[in-house]
């Protein structure tokens, strides 16, 4: 593949990005395979995200140049690019798969901005790799739209995630459940390493390959651990903490990942690999967003426990790096794992108190929340809409709060809960206006409901990409009132509650 050069022979602004690939240069080909992306036939730009472009200090005007699509659509390479497909393994639905790897994604390299931050640029849907496992190496427009929108929506919600710079589409046919249009996503993250990146070498008994990978990770992404006496144990502890906080944040906003395999778990604690995800509509703790998850392994309420299970797999893979004999190393790993649930519970409690408008800690707060969620489940109350409306709760004596109680079938049960809630709010000493403003900063009005994504997909497949841009704009301000977009905060129509989302989504 040729490097791009401006047709006048001068270096263009894209080439002036500070570009390298520390992963490919620091490690060897036991960790990846070198290959170029395969461009889609007749590709065109579908969407561009200027907020992500700011992270690599790329002028948004560059997206209008033909060179942009050549480079970020796989047709040409930056002169300093060293494209690779990353190798990893993983536990999929609880079963170990000894070799996975990037089957349709190619890491082009990384850009370092003026603040010294590194952003890996990865093309998803870039063609067959040695790890494609009989796949076609492609992504479809449907899945690409979903990841583009959701990764940016999650960022706006304050949840750690990969980012999306742009996506391109084409008329090239790709077969999933049906013939669909091919597409590519340019995904960004400080690193795309996963739990499964370490599992691969542990289960191959190639323990000597764990240390270079861990050293690379610490040097580039956890430099504060370099001076730690037991740096690898400290790394495991930090990944455990980040994972606990991430999953707590998922639970707070009602997000279900859908495929929490260890190969989809970021070593940096980012939300990674958006497939059959879903946000709660009606509150159902057993919500399963992936129609392939017949046993509910990755149901919404199972995510905290699965996070711990996945961390135990990572801890097992890192055991050869921990100081001491095997039994001592295992004890150290288990001690770190014991910190996970308290960290998750603490972070979740803090977040849910904020959603309830509570700043202080009181003994009965856990029961107050638990009883509310039980009532919401019994009445199939819309999770996002109710918590947003709760900011308008009237705690004054004899207040009826009719707009809130109308969410519930058993209104008397809600009245009983509301009386307790009013007493609790009275202990805070905060005005109703201050409380509502604070609650609105924690309770989003706009989320990427599946039906909204599907509407954007339907239009995109017909050649109209305007709804993607509109949704992206709305979801960048999830906590703001946007009167002109009020319809996007409405509950889903009946058909929108029954959408089946698959792993190819």
Compute the C-alpha angle 374/380/384, nearest 5°: 90
Domain boundary among 195, 225, 255: 195
pLDDT at 195 over 80: yes
Burial classification of residue 31, based on how many CB atoms lie within 10 Å of its CB (0-12 exposed, 13-18 middle, 19 or more buried)? buried
Annotated active-site residue 293? The verdict is no
Range list of H helices, 254-382: 303-318, 326-337, 340-355, 365-378
Tell me whether residue 470 is in a domain: no
Tell me whether residue 236 is in a domain: no
Domain count along the chain = 2
pLDDT in tens, 378-415: 999 999 999 999 999 999 988 999 999 999 999 999 99
Helix (H, G, I), strand (E, B) or coil at 366: helix
Segment 280-284 shows an average pLDDT of 97
pLDDT at 269 over 60: yes
State which residues form the domain around 433. 361-440
Tell me whether residue 174 is in a domain: yes
Segment 465-491 shows an average pLDDT of 97
Domain boundary among 407, 440, 473: 440
pLDDT in tens, 203-262: 999 999 999 999 999 999 999 999 999 999 999 999 999 999 999 999 999 999 999 999
Distance CA 41, CA 170 (A): 6
Owner of token pair 């009181």:
362
Distance CA 291, CA 300 (A): 13
Question: Within 10 A of 226 (CB to CB), how many other CB atoms are there?
Answer: 11
* φ/ψ of residue 290, rounded to 5: -105, 115
Tell me whether residue 28 is in a domain: yes
Pick the catalytic residue: 263, 281, 293, 382?
263
> With bands split at pLDDT 50, 70 and 90, how would you rate the model's confidence at 9?
very low
What percent helix, strand, coil does the chain show, rounded to 5?
A: 45, 15, 40
Distance CA 21, CA 107 (A): 9
Tell me whether residue 296 is in a domain: no
pLDDT the model gives residue 31:
98
pLDDT in tens, 318-358: 999 999 999 999 999 999 999 999 999 999 999 999 999 99
* Nearest Cα to Cα of residue 320 among 218, 202, 217: 202
Sign of CA dihedral 260, 264, 269, 274: negative
Domain boundary among 440, 466, 497: 440
pLDDT at 12 over 80: no
Tell me whether residue 447 is in a domain: no
Structure tokens at 450: 């599946």
Helix (H, G, I), strand (E, B) or coil at 505: coil
Segment 41-60 shows an average pLDDT of 95
Tell me whether residue 51 is in a domain: yes
pLDDT the model gives residue 502:
65
Burial classification of residue 402, based on how many CB atoms lie within 10 Å of its CB (0-12 exposed, 13-18 middle, 19 or more buried)? exposed
Tell me whether residue 167 is in a domain: yes
pLDDT at 2 over 80: no
Helix (H, G, I), strand (E, B) or coil at 67: helix
Structure tokens at 321: 């790096």
pLDDT the model gives residue 8:
32
% of the chain at pLDDT higher than 70: 96
Please, which residues bridge with residue 77 across strands? 3
Q: What is the DSSP string of 265-297?
A: SBTTS-B---SS-EE-SB--TT---BTT-TT-T
Give the residue, 495 or 285, on which the prediction is more confident.
285
Question: Within 10 A of 381 (CB to CB), how many other CB atoms are there?
Answer: 22
Question: Within 10 A of 355 (CB to CB), how many other CB atoms are there?
Answer: 17
């Amino acid at each position: 593949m040729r490097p791009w050069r401006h047709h006048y022979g001068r270096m263009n602004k894209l080439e002036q990005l500070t570009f390298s690939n520390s992963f490919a240069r620091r490690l060897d080909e036991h960790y990846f395979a070198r290959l170029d992306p395969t461009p889609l036939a007749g590709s065109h730009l579908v969407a561009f995200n200027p907020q992500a472009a700011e992270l690599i200090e790329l002028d948004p005007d560059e997206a209008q140049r033909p060179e942009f699509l050549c480079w970020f659509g796989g047709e040409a390479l930056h002169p300093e690019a060293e494209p690779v497909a990353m190798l990893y393994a993983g536990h999929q639905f609880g079963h170990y798969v000894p070799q996975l790897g990037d089957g349709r994604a190619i890491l082009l390299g990384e850009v370092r901005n003026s603040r010294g931050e590194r952003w890996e640029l990865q093309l998803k849907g870039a063609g067959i790799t040695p790890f494609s496992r009989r796949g076609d190496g492609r992504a479809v427009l449907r899945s690409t739209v979903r990841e583009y929108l959701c990764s940016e929506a999650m960022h706006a919600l304050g949840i750690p995630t990969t980012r999306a710079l742009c996506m391109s589409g084409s008329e090239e046919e790709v077969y999933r459940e049906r013939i669909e249009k091919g597409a590519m996503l340019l995904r960004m993250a400080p690193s795309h390493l996963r739990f499964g990146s370490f599992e691969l070498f542990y289960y191959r008994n190639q323990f000597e390959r764990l240390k270079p990978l861990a050293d690379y990770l610490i040097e580039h992404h956890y430099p504060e651990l370099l001076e730690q006496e037991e740096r690898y144990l400290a790394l495991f502890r930090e990944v455990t903490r980040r994972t606990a906080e991430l999953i707590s944040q998922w639970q707070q906003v009602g997000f279900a990942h859908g495929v929490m395999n260890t190969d989809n778990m970021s070593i940096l604690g980012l939300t990674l690999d958006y497939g059959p995800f879903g946000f709660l509509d009606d509150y159902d703790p057993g919500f399963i967003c992936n129609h392939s998850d017949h046993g509910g392994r990755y149901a919404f309420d199972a995510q905290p426990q699965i996070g711990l299970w996945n961390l135990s797999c990572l801890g097992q893979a890192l055991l050869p790096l921990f100081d001491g004999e095997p039994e001592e190393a295992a004890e150290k790993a288990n001690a770190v794992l014991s910190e996970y649930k308290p960290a998750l519970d603490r972070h979740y409690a803090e977040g849910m108190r904020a959603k309830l408008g509570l700043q202080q800690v009181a003994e009965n707060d856990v029961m107050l929340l638990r009883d509310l969620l039980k009532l919401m489940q019994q009445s199939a109350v819309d999770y996002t809409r109710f918590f947003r409306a709760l900011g308008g709760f009237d705690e004054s004596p004899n207040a009826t709060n009719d707009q809130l109680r109308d969410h519930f079938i058993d209104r008397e049960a809600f009245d009983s809960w509301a009386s307790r809630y009013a007493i609790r709010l009275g202990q805070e000493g905060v005005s109703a206006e201050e409380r509502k403003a604070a609650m609105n900063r924690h309770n989003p009005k706009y989320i990427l409901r599946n039906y909204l994504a599907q509407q954007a997909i339907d239009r995109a497949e017909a050649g109209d990409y305007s709804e993607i841009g509109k949704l992206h704009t709305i979801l960048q301000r999830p906590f703001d009132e946007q009167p002109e977009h009020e319809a996007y905060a409405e509950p889903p129509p009946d058909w929108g509650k029954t959408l089946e989302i698959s792993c190819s989504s």
